[in-house]
Amino acid sequence: ITRVLTRLGYEVVGFSDARAALQAFRAAPDRFDAIVTDLSMPSMSGSELAAEILQLTPDKPIVLTSGYVKPEEREAALAAGVRELVLKPNTVEELGAVLHKLLSDQRAAAIAS
């Protein structure tokens, strides 16, 4: 995903551990325009990571990816503030489109305010 998003023109910082990602985010939240996380990650779930990030920056767009999501996991992720849920294997194409939309919406909202 990191390589593909880089090829699409995004500056990507990749982590395989959610706690390391959270630490990097806390150190420089303005460096990140959006967060993409998998539901299943070492040390904490993607939903837990999203909740932690949204406590710091409530408007940060977060996209959750997963191969399979139970209905209660979907509800928990959306309740935590996840903006979009992208199911694998369509992740690459769909993720690029979702990020483009979320970041465009965010820029439009910033210009309007």
Comparing 91 with 14, which gets the higher pLDDT? 14
Three state DSSP letters for the chain:
CHHHHHHCCCCCCCCCCHHHHHHHHHHCHHHCCCEEEECCCCCCCHHHHHHHHHHHCCCCCEEEEECCCCHHHHHHHHHHCCCEEEECCCHHHHHHHHHHHHHHHHHHHHHHC
Which pLDDT score, from 0 to 100, does residue 113 have? 75
Condensed to tens digits (0 to 9), the pLDDT of residues 2-45 reads: 888 888 888 999 998 999 999 999 999 999 999 998 888 878 88
More confident residue, 93 or 58: 58
pTM as predicted:
0.84
